[in-house]
Amino acid sequence: MGATSESAATVSGTPETANIVTRFAPSPTGYLHIGGARTALFNWLYAKAKGGTFLLRIEDTDRARSTQPAIDAILTSMQWLGLDWDGDAVFQFERAARHAEVAHQMVESGHAYRCYLTHEELAAMRAEAEAAKRPLRVRSPWRDRTPEAGDKPYVVRLKAPTEGATTIVDRVQGSITVQNSELDDLILLRSDGTPTYMLAVVVDDHDMGVTHVIRGDDHLNNAFRQLPIIKAMNWPEPVYAHVPMIHGPDGGKLSKRHGAVGVEYYRDELGMLPEAVDNYLLRLGWGHGDDEIISREQAVAWFDLDGIGKSPSRFDLKKLQNLNGHYIREADDARLATLVAARFDPALSEDQRTLLERAMPSLKPRAASLIELADGAQFLFRQRPLAIAAEAEPLLAGNAQPLLAALHTALDALDDWDTEALESAVRQVAEDAGVKLGQVAQPLRAALTGRKTSPGIFDVLVLLGREESLGRIADQIKN
């Protein structure tokens, strides 16, 4: 494979005009990691941008580590992020017979061989490599021997090229060349006949018609080990795009020690909207000029592999929270009310949910997450007499008492309970007492919500209604 052209399409891989097929291939060993979610998003977007197909393959060949809860978490998280896949998810383990079939075909065609090296022989080779301080690259003596007759245990190894070099023109990393002498005769089938991961990936990608392999650059080395299998089978080479890792704020690879790494955590514990997480993940490693807020439609219109950055990106929770605040302000009130209602325990009644929806325009500007929305909405559903937060207690003492009494009288006398009438009545109370509006609003807020901060006081009065508002004020008048 000579790397003579700059274009990945002509050097390795399918022409970009062909029908594009991408895939996301998670190993179900835990939640959907934020890095995995970004890989899924990039694959999804690329397929949509090019009118192609996006497939999902669950790489569950590691039976000890793959679990059903992890599969469920991945599927749920992808659905939540709006990353729907075409057709049914492919389960890799179910395809083991097909993987083995390919390995045997490769033995037949001379691209793989049966290796009868024993554990002891391998251990000796390992010790020798360690002593010489070089990595173990297995080139078994069985490479060029006639297979044993009988039923001695063997593994099937790839007959990797030893001469020359392999070049991958990666759409993100550029042109990378590895000397074939650095490759090893990796195992394709274990002695129990089960396929290895390296073989399974290649066979599945081929059988699923995958044209573009977009994945984390922790798999770049694997690409050089997978290509000889592809070439041996005379299959078309995919276009590769290896995306740099996401790093934590301290520059190290993003991991559990940085806190939240699973998508569900962002949904459940941080109260994020999926469009905010998608937008953030898109910008994390991909750019379109200076655009920060990018809708799904714009992303589909603009996404291309050229916009993927070459260096690792740093995860910035503050940025994600800001984006989430933006999308909360944009979101439909009924949808937000439903999402926030689900966070209340005990569950809200339908009337309460409706009230929550009415309150959304007042709550939204102050919240950067569903958690903050739910917290800001607490006052709507509290039982009288309200427990007053310690910080709000002083607002109800001393001078506040005669003001509360005056407010109660003035508001009780109103015919109309609307913003205009309420505002002029409260202003009048302030004027009569010779104080600023704020000095009346603060005790009123404390009495109505039990807190120091809340939506605008007139909105609070309207939302609570006459009876509840007057009751809450009366509760705080001490004698």
Interface characters, 275-294, with ligand GLU (x: CB under 6 A):
--------------------
Question: Of 23-31, 48-56, 76-84, 235-243, which segment contacts ligand GLU by CB under 6 A?
Answer: 23-31
Round to whole Å and give the CA distance between 232 and 422.
81
Pairing of strands 155-158, 187-189: antiparallel
**Contacting ligand GLU within 185-224 (CB under 6 A):** 201, 215, 219
Round to whole Å and give the CA distance between 321 and 369.
7
Q: DSSP letter at 476?
A: T
Q: Is there binding between residue 70 and ligand GLU (CB under 6 A)? A: no
Closer by beta carbon to ligand GLU, 208 or else 440: 208
Q: Is there binding between residue 243 and ligand GLU (CB under 6 A)? A: no
Least Å distance, CB 228 to ligand GLU, is 16
Question: Alpha-carbon torsion 361, 363, 368, 370, what sign?
Answer: negative
Query: Which CA distances in Å does 315 have to 73, 248, 261?
Result: 22, 5, 10
Round to whole Å and give the CA distance between 228 and 226.
6
Q: Is there binding between residue 26 and ligand GLU (CB under 6 A)? A: yes
Round to whole Å and give the CA distance between 309 and 283.
10
Q: Is residue 318 a known part of a binding site?
A: no
Across-strand partners of 213?
240
Contact criterion met (CB below 8 Å) for 82 and 274 = yes
Question: Of 21-29, 168-176, 420-428, 430-438, which segment contacts ligand GLU by CB under 6 A?
Answer: 21-29
Least Å distance, CB 17 to ligand GLU, is 24
Active site residue 256: yes
Q: Is there binding between residue 171 and ligand GLU (CB under 6 A)? A: no
Least Å distance, CB 214 to ligand GLU, is 8
Across-strand partners of 179?
165
Q: Is there binding between residue 447 and ligand GLU (CB under 6 A)? A: no
Please identify which of the residues 256, 310, 436, 478 carries the catalytic annotation: 256
Least Å distance, CB 369 to ligand GLU, is 29
Closest CA to 98 of 203, 3, 202, 226: 203
Q: Is there binding between residue 67 and ligand GLU (CB under 6 A)? A: no
Give the catalytic positions in this structure: 256
**Which segments are annotated as binding site for ATP?**
256
Binding residues for ligand GLU (CB under 6 A): 25-27, 59, 201, 215, 219
